């Protein structure tokens, strides 16, 4: 008998991509798939394809055991409630265990454990991973490194002004990974035959770049010169504040710079190819495919 698979956060970009891949490329029958979301009305198209859609809200722990009933393998997509999602995600792990789920896949962050972590929300992921480890269930943790798609946020502005202000230590290497490679790795992790897995995968591309190297690559492929200016974190923060950048975005940017500077994303792995059988997308391919959006 085939296993029942569930993807939480199925209206989100990652969850939706995983569901599409499972149906369209991984050969999963709609009847073996359950899509979880806070708002099932947004997934009418999946219902029409024969996928079961269930309400799943980690903020309503009392509903989770029934939401996960009958599920064999569960992909928990970390939520976007950065800094306030740990309790809900811990509740999801607990409910999965009591509902009889046999294996959990979780989308985590790079190197999330450790005291005084430079990434302010690392504790959300470390705490969720620990809940999964403590559950005794088989798991496949996917530590997704920075999405290449994050460049859609800052890079168009940098290309326009020609200057990239950063607080990252010069020369620090970072690996960026395609969102689609993260989704494909998650679909593979959910479906490849399970044993008593206790696996952690670093989901990365095959390359690392310093900010200077990203700037040079962007200049070459997108045709606009960029110079990198390194500022102390407090100076960068006050300049961004003066420019009207929201506090949360400033905190996020500085925290990611500090995490990069600590070398926590400086190593590549072959996990994407191991899981998916495909080479991960390069940053050059991302820039080339998205030239219009990045230079608009």
Ligand X SMILES: NC(=O)c1ccc[n+]([C@@H]2O[C@H](COP(=O)([O-])OP(=O)(O)OC[C@H]3O[C@@H](n4cnc5c(N)ncnc54)[C@H](OP(=O)(O)O)[C@@H]3O)[C@@H](O)[C@H]2O)c1
* Helices vs strands, H then E, count in the chain: 13, 11
Residue tagged 């399970």 (tokens): 194
Q: Compute CA 110 distance to the chain's CA centroid, rounded to the nearest angstrom.
A: 10
> Is residue 80 a contact residue for ligand X (CB under 6 A)?
yes
Nearest approach in angstroms of CB 247 to ligand X is: 18
> Is residue 81 a contact residue for ligand X (CB under 6 A)?
yes
> Is residue 61 a contact residue for ligand X (CB under 6 A)?
no
User: Quick one: which of 52, 79, 111, 166 contacts ligand X (CB under 6 A)?
Assistant: 79
93-98 long-range contacts (CB < 8 A, ≥24 apart) are 93/128, 93/131, 93/132, 93/135, 94/61, 94/131, 94/135, 95/61, 95/64, 95/65, 95/67, 95/68, 96/64, 96/68, 96/71, 96/135, 96/137, 97/135, 97/136, 97/137, 98/65
User: Quick one: which of 30, 59, 118, 156 contacts ligand X (CB under 6 A)?
Assistant: 59
Using the minimum distance from each CB to ligand X, give the nearer residue, 85 or 97: 85
> Is residue 9 a contact residue for ligand X (CB under 6 A)?
yes
Q: Is the dihedral of CA 248, 109, 88, 120 positive or negative?
A: negative
Q: Do 124 and 92 contact (CB within 8 A), yes or no? A: no
Classify burial at 257, counting beta carbons within 10 Å of its beta carbon; exposed 0-12, middle 13-18, buried 19 or more: buried
> Is residue 96 a contact residue for ligand X (CB under 6 A)?
no
User: Quick one: which of 147, 151, 286, 287 contacts ligand X (CB under 6 A)?
Assistant: 147
> Is residue 15 a contact residue for ligand X (CB under 6 A)?
yes
Nearest approach in angstroms of CB 175 to ligand X is: 11
Nearest approach in angstroms of CB 255 to ligand X is: 12
* Site stretch for ligand X (CB under 6 A), options 96-104, 143-151, 153-161, 278-286: 143-151
> Is residue 151 a contact residue for ligand X (CB under 6 A)?
no
Size of the site for ligand X (CB under 6 A): 25
User: Quick one: which of 10, 75, 250, 253 contacts ligand X (CB under 6 A)?
Assistant: 10
Using the minimum distance from each CB to ligand X, give the nearer residue, 56 or 218: 56
Residue tagged 């480890």 (tokens): 133
CA distance 82 to 154: 19
> Is residue 131 a contact residue for ligand X (CB under 6 A)?
no
Please give the residue ranges that form the binding site for ligand X (CB under 6 A): 8-15, 37-38, 56-59, 77-81, 88, 107, 144, 146-147, 150
């Amino acid at each position: 008998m085939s296993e029942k698979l569930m993807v939480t956060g199925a209206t989100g970009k990652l969850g939706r991509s995983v569901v599409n891949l499972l149906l369209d490329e991984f050969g999963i029958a709609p009847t073996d798939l359950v899509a979880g979301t806070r708002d099932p009305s947004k997934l009418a198209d999946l219902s029409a394809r024969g996928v079961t859609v269930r309400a799943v809200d980690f903020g309503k722990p009392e509903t989770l055991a029934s939401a996960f009933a009958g599920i064999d393998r569960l992909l928990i997509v970390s939520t976007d409630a950065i800094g306030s999602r740990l309790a809900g995600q811990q509740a999801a792990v607990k409910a999965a265990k009591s509902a009889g789920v046999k294996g959990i896949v979780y989308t985590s962050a790079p190197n999330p454990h450790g005291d005084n972590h430079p990434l302010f929300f690392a504790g959300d992921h470390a705490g969720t991973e620990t809940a999964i480890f403590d559950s005794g269930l088989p798991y496949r943790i996917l530590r997704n490194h920075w999405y290449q798609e994050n460049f859609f946020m800052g890079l168009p502005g940098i290309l326009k002004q020609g200057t990239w202000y950063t607080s990252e230590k010069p020369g620090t290497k970072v690996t960026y990974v395609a969102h689609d490679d993260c989704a494909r790795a998650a679909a593979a992790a959910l479906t490849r035959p399970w044993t008593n897995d206790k696996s952690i995968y670093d989901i990365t591309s095959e390359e690392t770049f310093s900010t200077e190297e990203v700037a040079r690559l962007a200049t070459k492929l997108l045709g606009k010169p960029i110079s990198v200016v390194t500022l102390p974190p407090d100076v960068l923060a006050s300049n961004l504040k003066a420019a009207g950048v929201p506090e949360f975005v400033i905190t996020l940017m500085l925290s990611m710079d500090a995490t990069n500077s600590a070398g926590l994303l400086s190593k590549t792995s072959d996990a994407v190819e191991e899981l998916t059988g495909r080479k991960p997308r390069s940053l050059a391919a991302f820039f080339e495919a998205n030239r219009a959006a990045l230079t608009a």
